[in-house]
Copies of this chain bind each other. A is one copy, B any other.
Amino acid sequence: MKLIKAAVIGASGYSGEELVRRLLHHPHVELTAVTSRQQAGQTLAQVFPKFAGHPKSKTLRFCEPNAELLAKQAEIVFLALPHGVAAEFAVPLLRLGCRVIDLSADFRLKSAEVYKEFYAHDHPAPELLARSVYGLPEVYRDAIKGASLIASPGCYPTSILLPVLPLLRAKLIKPQGIIADSLSGVSGAGRKAEVDYLFVECNESVRPYGVPKHRHLSEIEEQLSLAAGSPVTIQFTPHLIPVNRGILTTLYLAPEKHFASAAEAAALHEKITACYQSAYANEPFVRLLDGPALPDTKNVAGTNVIEIAWRLDPRTGRLVVMSAEDNIVKGASGQALQSMNILCGFPETAGLV
C-alpha cells in the first residue's frame, strides 16, 4: 500500500509528541514534516531523545509552520495548536487541498455564537463550522470517511460522551440533571511553563478548577443535545490530580424508568448492559466492564482504549457510570489517528496497538 504523507503542526507539545511517536511507526503513513516555533531547526532526535532509535529522527527537522510549504509536503495535516491559532492554519491548508485533523477546539462546535460565549473571541473562520466533522469515530464514523476537516474531540468530552450518548439515544436516561465529575492528569495542561503545573505544585495536591463553567461544556452539551433531540445542560467539574496521564469521569444519571424492587433494578441493569453492548461490543477501543471491575486509569494509560462501567443504586434511584481513558491518547492524539485511519481507509487500529 502506498504511504500517505502526513505533517504535524505544533509537534512539541504533549499531544504533538504522541502524534509523532505513533506516526513514526504507523504502517501506512510517512511523517514528512513537524513544526514548532521554539524548536525550529532541531532534529526530532534532539528534541525527543526517546525517538532517537527511529531512522527518521536524525533527518527530520522541526520547521516554522508555513501552510504553503506544508501543503506540498503532506496530504494530511494534524493541528496540535492552541484554540484560536489552529483556524489560521486550517483555512489555507484546506484551500490548498489538504485534509486537516484539528486537535484544538476551533471546529468542534456548530455555532459561532456558542464558540464566542465559551472562548471569549469571535470565531476565526465561521464559514468552516458547517463543513467540519466531530471526530468521535464511535459516533461519526461514516461522516469521518468523507471529511476534509475533522475536529477531534476534547479529552473531557470524550470521557463523558462515549458513556452517555448510547443511554441518551436509547432514552434510558433523562437528559436533564446530568452531572459529570472528572479527574485529569497534569499532561492535560500542556507542556507550558506555568508555576501552577510545576511538580511541587501538583504533587500531593488534588484540586477542582474551572468551576462551574469550563470551556469543554460547549462541545459536550452540543453533542448531548443532538443525541437527546433537545437542549441539554449539564453540571461538569474538572479536577487536577497528580498523574501524568489519564482522565477518570464519574457520571450521575437519572434513569427514565423508576426502579424500586430488586427485580426492577436487575431488569433495568440488563437493558443498560444491552444498550452498551449494542453500541460498543464491536468497537476496538471501548472496553465495557460488565463484571465486578471498575475503571482505572492505569489500565488504559498509553492506549487508545476507554473503559466504561455502570452501577444502579437502588437506594437513590440513580445510575452511576464511570469511564477511564488516557487523556493524550483516546482523549487527543490516538483518537485523531483513529479518525485518520477511517478517513484514509486504513484498518482502524493501525498504529494504535
Binding site for B on A (CB under 8 A): 14, 25, 46, 49-50, 52-53, 179, 181, 183, 185-187, 191-195, 197-209, 211-213, 233-235, 237, 239, 241-246, 248, 250, 252, 284, 287, 289, 291, 293-303, 305, 307, 311-313, 315-316, 318, 320, 322, 324, 353
Given contacts A211-B294, A237-B320, contact A204 B243 (CB under 8 A): yes
Q: Contacts A250-B181, A284-B53, A320-B235; is A296 near B207 (CB within 8 Å)?
A: yes
A25 in contact with B199 (CB, 8 Å) = no
One of B53, B297, B318 near A305 (C-beta < 8 A): B53
Whether the pair A235, B318 counts as a contact (CB closer than 8 A) is: yes
| Nearest-Cβ distance from residue A300 to partner chain B, whole angstroms | 7
Our pick among B198, B287, B289 for the contact of A198 (Cβ within 8 Å) is B198
Instruction: Please state the number of chain copies in the assembly.
Output: 4
Q: From residue A184, how far is it (CB to closest CB) to chain B in Å?
A: 9
Pick the 5 closest A-B CB pairs, nearest first.
A212-B313, A205-B298, A199-B202, A207-B296, A193-B193
Taking A207-B297, A209-B294 as contacts, is the C-beta distance between A193 and B194 under 8 angstroms? yes
Expressed in whole angstroms, the Cα–Cα distance for A167 and B323 within the complex equals 31
Residue pair B320, A50 in contact (C-beta under 8 Å): no
Within 8 Å CB of A315, what residues of B?
212-213, 233
Contact A186 B205 (CB under 8 A): no
| Partner of A195 from B181, B187, B191, B301 at Cβ < 8 Å | B191
Beta-carbon contact of A206 and B50 below 8 Å: no
Assess whether B237 is in contact with A207, with CB atoms less than 8 Å apart: no
Min CB gap A217→B, angstroms: 8
Whether the Cβ atoms of B200 and A14 lie closer than 8 Å is yes
**Known A203-B242, A209-B294, A307-B49; contact A235-B313, beta-carbon cutoff 8 A:** yes
Please, which residues of chain B bring their CB within 8 A of the CB of A287? Answer: 49, 52-53
A322–B311 CA distance with the chains assembled, in angstroms: 24
A333 to chain B, nearest CB (A): 15
Shortest C-beta distance, A208 to chain B (Å), equals: 5
